[in-house]
Amino acid sequence: MFHNSTQRKYWTFKDEQELVLLRAEANEKCINGIAGNMSDEEKSRHFLTAQEERLLCRHFEFVMKEFCGKFQPPMPKCVVGSAINFMKRFYVNNSVMDYHPRDIMLTCVYLACKVEEFYVPIGQFVGNLKGNREKFADIVLGFELLLMQKLHYHLTIHNMYRPLEGLIIDLKTRYSQVGDPEKLRRYAEDFIDRSLGTDVSLLFAPSQVALAALLSSASREQIIMDSYVTDVLLAGASQEELRKTITIIKKIKMMVKNQDTLQRDVVQLIQRKLEKCRNQENNPESEVYKRKMEEMFEDEDEIRSQKRARIEEETRVADSELLS
């Protein structure tokens, strides 16, 4: 299924450099749209860099995981994985200066609940939040369609948890040397959870990440599984295919192991800077945004009125012709 999916075709990128370039383009496009006649020096002082945007996104991905971890009723792992993937995809081509990650984060979780068939009414959803819950509900519902549009309605996420389950079942049926494979589950799932803090889901197939998670867990348990990979899982593969798989597994392990620790004081500085350079047209709390919404609703009312008047006129003409 993954092989023919939109995830593989549109949301699996060549390498980390491609992601860096796309995020830099989104950053530059946003700045040019807001800055007007500012000089390059003024832009560099006033706006966030692409690197600062990525740090802020990573912070809110962490906040999202905490929110999902405390959510009631308890949230399935697939919902968390899908929500984080939605957010990662969104900010490949969009800037946090256009859309605040706090707003998008909540919308991603709400949308993931629907996509993964974990039904939670909006009232119950915002009941898990502190503060003005009515405002949060308006934000989530207001951004839901925009989020789907920006994701090009590619809403099916192939999470890593399912192929991990498949690998554990495969161990039970075809590789008795490992003993009880269930002992590998805890650290393998922990590996996948930590991988959500990186870009591995945008670069590798879910089955590759799941295999890296399983082998990482086996290493912690001091279990050698080389023969499982070469003689069972990839039986019949060429030496080149084996080398390629080993290289990918090492890359995934390295990305998960070496991810940078977020520094709260740096994130706070970036958030303060963001408040000064946000695109107010997309800020639900700004007067500009509120006026834009009012104008949009007025335009919709006018279109409906014109349509009603046209239907009434067409009906009147039809009645006249019938009676004549």
Amino acid 302: pLDDT: 61
Q: pLDDT band for position 35 (50/70/90)?
A: confident
Options 3.30.450.20, 1.20.120.140, 1.10.10.10, 1.10.472.10; CATH for 2-157+261-277 is: 1.10.472.10
| Domain spans, the chain | 2-157+261-277, 161-257
What would the pLDDT profile of 76-108 be if each residue is shown by its tens digit? 999 999 999 999 999 999 999 999 999 999 999
Average pLDDT over residues 215-223: 94
Domain 2-157+261-277 shares a fold with domain 161-257: yes
Of 52-56, 129-133, 267-271, 318-322, the range with the lowest mean pLDDT is 318-322
Question: Around Cβ 48, how many Cβ atoms within 10 Å?
Answer: 22
**Is the confidence at residue 4, as pLDDT, over 90?**
yes
User: Average model confidence (pLDDT) for the chain?
Assistant: 91
Range 161-257 has CATH code 1.10.472.10: yes
Decide which of 317 and 1 is more confident. 1
Three-state secondary structure call for residue 257: helix
CB of 103 within 8 A of CB of 284? yes
Nearest to 223 by CA among 182, 163, 169: 182
Amino acid 291: pLDDT: 76
Amino acid 27: pLDDT: 96
Of 16-30, 162-176, 207-221, 282-296, the range with the lowest mean pLDDT is 282-296
What would the pLDDT profile of 163-179 be if each residue is shown by its tens digit? 999 999 999 999 988 88
For tokens 């809110």, name the residue.
60
Can you say whether the dihedral through the CA atoms of 288, 290, 292, 294 is positive or negative?
A: negative
Question: Around Cβ 249, how many Cβ atoms within 10 Å?
Answer: 20
3-state SS of 25-57 is HHHHHHHHHHHCCCCHHHHHHHCCCHHHHHHHH
CB of 286 within 8 A of CB of 234? no
| Cβ partners under 8 Å of residue 178, min gap 6 | 171, 184, 218, 223, 225, 228
